[in-house]
């Protein structure tokens, strides 16, 4: 429970961090001049013009007029509140504030205006239609060159979404707390204490739910040590929990506590940071069931009155069942728990009452019982007479031609486990989306600022070119970020080919040396590989060579940062007969190529080893990395049928090893003949553009016309095929892949069938069809593309088609 609450608090802090970033971006243009400087009236007019053009909601008030009225409201602010400029001008902005607005916030604004200083507050505003929104208000004074207060600029930030998410988190925490308090099972969090030899000697209770006292008979345990509450507790309990706290491996077991006179079924798992030595326990008092099981064993020898009493009084499901799966006897708890009367069960097959998805596990358990294996804690869903299922945990003992089984209802425990799993999924999604938003907002800020500055009519040509270059470079970085995300998600459209890993490593080594700097010595070693005749054979793999190079560079940059710019970096290539077991995956035998990158850096902390491949996880400072480099390595390895393994010891350096399937009996792909660079001009080439996005389609057709192409535009594949069926025809088709109805690849196949020889060039930013099946031999242009790249791809496709016709 502590861990779940702490996670919710971390999510709140993450929201606050995103808000802080937005605040910084939205108020940077409103900062006061340096000490001793003033803003002139002309500068204020320039700010008016900029405010009108920006999409950020802004208003300007005049403190020199009575009641500080609004004298300017840009279009973005009008869209935010729903009022027109005529309805806003001349009124104090108080009329937008509802009765729920904190008077203290209003007072802060009034005091700041009186003191002529900046202020930031969050207030509740009402739109014209009566709906509300949470508004972060940034108020900043503007002075004339003589130091006279001229205006107040107020920039608005709608934070409704953030506050809504905070409310959802609070609601989630409340639901979790309700479930925590309502559980019949005992639940607690304990903190272990160890002696100098690393053996657990005591533990104290951090938290316990109300059911804890019912299950154990112990009251008021929070904050107290078990040695105080149960002085004679057996050491085996301490040893078991101590092993969980140290290893992180969850356990599930049953054991008796003699000091308490009870038997418990316990599930224990480590929570929090390893150094906290905290373990969460979910448990049930199974004393009655253990007694019932003992009586069930005695049933094989004699039927006693005591057995009959327990048989009828037990709240657990008890059953005698043959190895053929047919019920021979059931106790009354079946009726109480599942609604089945004894007469409807005896003589029927056990599998009839098991959920279809759980029948394979039940069948395997039957096989084990037939061979004399005792069954412990098999969870299956059992059908209820009135419909639905409940989770039952079964224990069984074989005897002669039948077995005795006892089942406990664990539905609530399974519900809690599912809640925990869903919470972890939400946390991972939140981390990914937050990281994407942060990085893309950084890139969009550069583009937005550059475009705003390009609109100034008096901008010198040198600065204009600089801003245009900044936009182009930022788009390239955004495309690279998208590619890394797709690689991590294993959705990148790879272009695999057979190539020599040793040669690729050698060619990338010089670039790695440039990236790492002169104080890091880069050493590459390709271990000899020989066939039975003793001849050297290359290390061939079938993968995307550009993605391989990117993965190698990402590992090298990670190593450089770990060494602080000074040390030794070893890049090695060798053969491997298996991928070692890693991340719960078993050892995979086979023929692999292992590419290792070893550094002499600080190493990786043990608690970070399981997280280094998560998207946006980084231990570097702000602005020193996106946290996607190793994610790209992981995604490339998985999508290429391989694996990446990391070995590290703090202070001793780190080794990343990339395992990729080796190609045997293949040859390196030959480089295609270099073609002369096509001219950018279209020279009247007829192009049919197929694009369902109107903005992209209009841009592509207009850009191609300006380059001399003769273009037509279809919004979907069906329309394109209809246009192609009519004269005069086209020289090339340029199509998006993702479209409603028939996708671009299916359309290209149909064109190949109907109009043999007509080239088709495909384009996409992402498509699951491309990721799973490839481009099927059609030329492919990744979005975002430049006009030059588009023209070059079209001319190359047209020239190749002409060459095929010329060859007959």
pLDDT of residue 524 exceeding 70: yes
Instruction: Name the β-bridge partners of 253.
Output: 266
Beta-strand ranges (E) seen in 490-649 are 497-500, 520-526, 540-543, 567-579, 588-599, 643-649
Q: What is the DSSP letter of 210?
A: T
pLDDT at 673 exceeding the cut of 50: no
- Distance between CA atoms of 496 and 543, rounded to whole angstroms? 4
The predicted structure's pLDDT at residue 426: 55
Q: Are residues 280 and 299 in the same domain?
A: no
Instruction: Average the pLDDT over each of 197-201, 250-254, 376-380 and give the range with the smallest value.
Output: 376-380
Say how far apart CA 518 and CA 498 lie, in whole Å: 33
The parent domain of residue 220 ranges over 186-285
Q: Which of 746, 745, 737, 730 is nearest to 801 (CA)?
A: 730
Q: pLDDT-derived band of residue 677, with 50, 70 and 90 as boundaries?
A: very low
Mean pLDDT of 771-785: 68
Q: Does 464 lie in the same domain as 367?
A: no
CB 327 within 8 A of CB 347: yes
**Closest to 207 (Cα-Cα) out of 181, 232, 237:** 181
Tell me if 667 is assigned to some domain.
Answer: no
Whether residues 315 and 388 fall in one domain: yes
Question: Pick from 380, 409, 438: which residue ends a domain?
Answer: 409
Encoded tokens for 692: 């369902």
Assess whether pLDDT exceeds 60 at residue 247.
yes
Beta strands 588-599; 540-543: pairing state: unpaired
Helix (H) or strand (E) holding 135: strand 132-143
Alpha helix stretches (DSSP H) within 544-628? 545-562
Confidence band of 674 (pLDDT split at 50, 70, 90): very low
For residue 596, what pLDDT is reported? 93
* The token pair that represents 635 in the structure block: 């995604």
Q: What is the DSSP string of 267-311?
A: EEEEES-GGG-EEEEEEEE-HHHHHHHHHHHHHTT---HHHHHHH
Residue 525 · residue 573 · CB < 8 Å: yes
Phi/psi of residue 101, nearest 5 degrees: -65, 135
In a domain, 420, yes or no: no
> How many CB atoms neighbour CB 473 within 10 A?
12
Q: Are residues 215 and 275 in the same domain?
A: yes
Beta-carbon contacts of 220 under 8 Å, excluding residues fewer than 6 positions away, are: none
Categorize the per-residue pLDDT at 657 as very low, low, confident or very high, splitting at 50, 70 and 90: very high
- Give me the mean pLDDT over the 97-112 stretch: 77
C-beta separation of 784 from 766 below 8 A? no
Residues 6+ apart with CB under 8 A from 235: none
SS3 626: coil
For residue 607, count other CB atoms closer than 10 A to its CB.
Answer: 11
Q: What is d(CA 581, CA 598) in angstroms, rounded to the nearest whole number?
A: 20
pLDDT at 29: 42
CATH number at residue 502: 3.30.565.10
* Residue 471 shares a structural domain with residue 518: no
Lowest mean pLDDT among 113-117, 650-654, 743-747: 113-117
SS3 of residue 740 by DSSP: coil
Question: Which burial class, exposed, middle or buried, applies to 141 when counting CB atoms under 10 A from its CB (0-12, 13-18, 19+)?
Answer: buried
Please report where in the chains the tokens 């060159």 appear, as a residue: 145
**Using an 8 Å Cβ cutoff, are 691 and 736 in contact?**
yes
Q: Give the total residue count for the chain.
A: 808
Is residue 98 over pLDDT 80?
no
Contact of 361 with 381, CB cutoff 8 Å: no
Mean pLDDT of 619-630: 52
Burial of residue 776, with CB atoms counted within 10 A of its CB: 0-12 exposed, 13-18 middle, 19 or more buried? middle
Total domains in the chain come to: 6
pLDDT band at 19 (very low <50, low <70, confident <90, very high): very low
| Other CB atoms within 10 A of residue 755 CB | 16
Would you state the pLDDT for residue 307?
64
Please choose, from the candidates 538, 567, 559, 662, the residue with its C-alpha nearest in 3D space to the C-alpha of residue 620: 559
Long-range contacts of 432-435 (CB under 8 A, 24+ apart): 432/615, 432/616, 434/14, 434/18, 434/616, 435/615, 435/616, 435/626, 435/627
Residue 727 resides in a domain:
yes
Check whether residue 712 and residue 592 sit in a common domain.
no
Q: What is the CATH number of the domain that holds 463?
A: 1.10.287
DSSP tally for the chain: helices H, then strands E: 24, 27
Using alpha carbons only, give the angle 20, 25, 30 rounded to the nearest 5 degrees: 110
Q: Return the number of other C-beta atoms located less than 10 Å from residue 113's C-beta.
A: 17
**What is the average pLDDT across 97-119?**
77
Task: Output the six-digit token pair for 408.
Answer: 């406990």
Which 3 state secondary structure label does DSSP give 376?
Answer: strand
* Whether residue 7 is found in the same domain as residue 137: yes
Distance (Å, whole) CA 555 – CA 242: 36
Angle between helices 694-706 and 787-806 (to 10 degrees): 70
**Over residues 695-718, mean pLDDT:** 87
Across the chain, mean pLDDT equals 78
State the SS3 of 658-680: EEEEECCCCCCCCCCCCCCCCCC
Is the CB of residue 683 less than 8 Å from the CB of residue 708?
Answer: yes
Instruction: Point out the domain boundary residue: 644, 661, 678.
Output: 661
Q: Are residues 364 and 223 in the same domain?
A: no
Is residue 656 classed exposed, middle or buried when 0-12, 13-18 and 19+ CB atoms within 10 A define those classes? buried
Does residue 801 sit in the same domain as residue 783? yes
723 within domain boundaries: yes
C-beta of residue 488 within 8 angstroms of C-beta of residue 617: no
| pLDDT score recorded for residue 401 | 87
681-706, pLDDT tens digit by residue?
A: 677 889 999 998 888 888 888 888 88
What pLDDT is stored for residue 771 in this prediction? 47
Specify if 571 maps to a domain. Answer: yes
- Residue pair 263/238 in contact by the 8 Å Cβ criterion: no
Same domain, 33 and 117: yes
Return d(Cα 546, Cα 472) in angstroms, integer: 21
Q: Facing residues of 571 across strands?
A: 524, 597
Domain membership of residue 644 (yes or no) is: yes
Query: Do 433 and 547 have their domain in common?
Result: no
Q: Which of 285, 308, 331 is the last residue of a domain?
A: 285
Q: Please give the share of the chain, as a percent, with pLDDT higher than 90.
A: 18
Q: How far apart are CA 184 and CA 410, in angstroms?
A: 10
144-186: per-residue pLDDT in tens? 777 788 888 787 777 665 555 555 555 555 566 666 676 788 8
Give the span between the Cα atoms of 27 and 121, in whole angstroms.
13
Assigned domain for 295 exists: yes
- Token look-up 């326990």 returns 281
Please say whether the beta carbons of 702 and 746 come within 8 A: no
Sheet bearing 186-194, strands edge to edge: 200-208, 186-194, 278-285, 262-271, 251-257
H helix or E strand, kind and range, residue 462: helix 461-488
Q: Is the pLDDT of residue 279 over 60?
A: yes
Paired with 354 in beta bridges are: 382
The Cα 389–Cα 386 span in angstroms is 9
Instruction: Look up the CATH number of the domain holding residue 91.
Output: 3.30.450.20
C-alpha distance from residue 579 to each of 135, 211, 596, 638 (Å): 54, 47, 13, 12
Q: Which helix (H) or strand (E) holds 734?
A: strand 732-736
| pLDDT, tens digit, 9 for 90 and up, residues 284-325 | 998 888 887 777 666 555 555 566 677 777 888 999 999 888
- Statement to judge: residues 474 and 506 lie in one domain: no
Dmax of the chain from CA atoms? 107
- Does residue 670 fall inside a structural domain? no
For residue 750, give the CATH number of its domain.
Answer: 3.40.50.2300
CA 629 – CA 602 distance, rounded (Å): 18
- Overall average pLDDT of the 100-104 stretch: 76
Tens digits of residue pLDDT in 55-95 = 678 888 888 888 889 888 888 888 888 899 889 899 988 88
How many other CB atoms are there within 10 angstroms of residue 367's CB atom?
Answer: 10
Does residue 394 contact residue 370 with C-beta atoms inside 8 Å? Answer: no
pLDDT digit string (tens) for 328-358? 999 998 988 899 998 888 999 988 889 998 8
C-alpha–C-alpha distance, residues 512 and 559, integer Å: 11
Instruction: Please state the φ and ψ torsions of residue 161, each to the nearest 5 degrees.
Output: -60, -40
288 burial (CB, 10 Å; 0-12 / 13-18 / 19+) is middle
Average pLDDT score over residue span 521-539: 83
Query: 427-462: per-residue pLDDT in tens?
Result: 545 555 555 565 666 666 667 766 776 777 777 888
């Amino acid at each position: 429970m502590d861990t779940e609450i702490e996670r919710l608090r971390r999510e709140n802090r993450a929201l606050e961090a995103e808000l802080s970033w937005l605040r910084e971006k939205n108020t940077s243009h409103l900062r006061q001049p340096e000490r001793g400087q003033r803003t002139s009236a002309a500068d204020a007019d320039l700010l008016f013009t900029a405010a009108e053009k920006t999409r950020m909601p802004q208003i300007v008030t005049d403190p020199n007029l009575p009641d500080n009225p609004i004298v300017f409201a840009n279009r973005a602010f009008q869209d935010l509140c729903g009022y027109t400029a005529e309805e806003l001008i001349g009124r104090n902005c108080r009329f937008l504030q509802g009765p729920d607005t904190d008077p203290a916030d209003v007072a802060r604004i009034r005091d700041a205006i009186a003191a002529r200083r900046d202020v930031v507050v969050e207030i509740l505003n009402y739109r014209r239609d009566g709906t509300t929104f949470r508004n972060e208000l940034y108020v900043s004074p503007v002075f004339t060159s003589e130091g006279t207060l001229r205006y107040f600029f107020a920039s608005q930030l709608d934070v409704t979404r953030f506050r809504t998410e905070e409310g959802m988190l609070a609601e989630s925490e409340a639901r979790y707390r309700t479930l925590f308090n309502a559980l019949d099972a005992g639940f607690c969090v304990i903190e272990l204490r160890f002696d100098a030899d690393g053996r657990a000697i005591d533990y104290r209770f951090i938290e316990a739910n109300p059911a804890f006292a019912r299950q154990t008979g112990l009251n008021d345990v929070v904050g107290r040590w078990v040695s105080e509450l149960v002085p004679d507790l057996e050491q085996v309990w301490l040893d078991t929990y101590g092993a969980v706290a140290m290893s992180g491996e969850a356990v599930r077991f049953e054991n008796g506590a003699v000091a308490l006179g009870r038997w418990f079924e316990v599930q224990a798992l480590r929570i929090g940071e390893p150094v906290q030595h905290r373990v969460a326990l979910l448990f049930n008092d199974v004393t009655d069931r253990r007694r019932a099981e003992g009586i069930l064993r005695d049933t094989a020898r004699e039927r006693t009155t005591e057995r009959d009493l327990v048989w009828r009084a037990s709240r657990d499901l008890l059953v005698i069942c043959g190895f053929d799966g047919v019920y021979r006897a059931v106790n009354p708890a079946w009726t109480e728990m599942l609604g089945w009367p004894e007469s409807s069960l005896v003589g029927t097959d056990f599998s009839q009452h098991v959920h279809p998805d759980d029948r394979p596990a039940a069948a395997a358990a039957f096989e084990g019982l037939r061979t004399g294996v005792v069954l412990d804690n098999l969870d299956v869903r059992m059908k209820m007479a009135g419909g639905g299922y409940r989770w039952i945990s079964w224990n069984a003992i074989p005897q002669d031609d039948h077995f005795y089984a006892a089942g406990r209802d664990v539905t609530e425990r399974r519900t809690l486990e599912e809640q925990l799993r869903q919470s972890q999924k939400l946390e991972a999604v939140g981390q990914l989306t937050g990281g994407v938003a942060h990085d893309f907002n950084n890139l969009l800020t550069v583009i937005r600022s550059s475009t705003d500055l390009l609109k100034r009519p008096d901008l010198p040509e040198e600065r204009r070119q600089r801003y245009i270059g900044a936009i182009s470079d930022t788009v390239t970085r955004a495309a690279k970020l998208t590619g890394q995300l797709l690689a991590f998600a294993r959705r990148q459209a790879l272009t695999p080919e057979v190539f020599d890993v040793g040669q690729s490593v050698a060619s990338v080594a010089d670039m790695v040396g440039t990236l790492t700097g002169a104080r890091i010595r880069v050493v590459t070693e390709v271990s000899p590989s020989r066939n039975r005749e003793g001849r050297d054979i290359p290390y061939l793999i079938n993968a995307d060579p550009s993605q391989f190079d990117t993965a190698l560079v990402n590992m090298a940059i990670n190593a450089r940062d770990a060494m602080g710019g000074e040390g030794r970096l070893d890049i090695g290539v060798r053969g491997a007969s298996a991928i070692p077991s890693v991340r719960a995956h078993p050892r995979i035998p086979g023929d692999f190529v292992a590419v290792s990158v070893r550094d002499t850096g600080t190493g990786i902390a043990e608690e970070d080893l399981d997280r280094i491949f998560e998207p946006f996880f980084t231990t570097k400072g702000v602005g020193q990395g996106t946290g996607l480099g190793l994610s790209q390595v992981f995604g490339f390895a998985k999508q290429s049928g391989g694996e990446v393994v990391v070995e590290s010891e703090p202070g001793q350096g780190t080794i990343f090893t990339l395992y990729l399937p080796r190609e045997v009996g293949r040859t390196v792909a030959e480089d295609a003949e270099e073609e002369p660079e096509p001219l950018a001009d279209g020279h009247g080439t007829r192009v049919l553009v197929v694009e369902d996005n109107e903005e992209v389609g209009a841009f592509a057709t207009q850009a191609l016309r300006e380059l001399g192409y003769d273009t037509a535009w279809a919004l979907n594949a069906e329309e394109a095929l209809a246009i192609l069926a009519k004269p005069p025809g086209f020289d090339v088709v340029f199509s998006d892949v993702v479209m409603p109805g028939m996708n671009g690849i299916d359309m290209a196949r149909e064109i190949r069938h109907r109009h043999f020889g007509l080239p088709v060039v495909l384009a996409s930013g992402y498509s699951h069809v491309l990721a799973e099946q490839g481009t099927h031999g059609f030329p492919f242009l990744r979005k975002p593309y430049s006009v030059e790249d588009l023209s070059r791809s079209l001319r190359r496709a047209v020239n190749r088609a002409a060459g095929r016709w010329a060859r007959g």
